[in-house]
Amino acid sequence: MLKSILTGYIDSALSYAEYDKLEDGTFSGRIPKCKGVIAFGKTLPKCENELQSIPEDWILVGLKLGHLIPIIDEFDLNKEPTHESMATV
């Protein structure tokens, strides 16, 4: 099954996630390659779930505002999509 480029980007970004246990026993998670993507949770699984929900909105807002989205692995969301001719489909 083909993944969308957005899903592939998010999956790749999440593979770089880093988590820390905070002094109060809660957790923080971030994706260092995606500036500003950070989440918090009372437990590590809750933090992971929260972090998974953030990148899509972060990407869409960034693109709308004209920000460059960092290239992660082979995914470059800053390129204009290419379209094949209908004759080749």
CATH number at residue 26: 3.30.160.250
> Number of structural domains, the chain?
1
Number of helical H runs and strand E runs in the chain = 3, 3
Residues 33, 8: Cα–Cα separation, whole Å: 15
pLDDT for residue 88: 54
Confidence (pTM): 0.78
Residue-wise pLDDT tens digits, 52-85: 999 999 999 999 999 999 999 888 888 766 655 5
- Enclosing domain of residue 69: 5-88
If DSSP codes are grouped into helix, strand and coil, which group holds residue 88?
A: helix
Q: Are strands 27-30 and 38-41 parallel, antiparallel or unpaired?
A: antiparallel
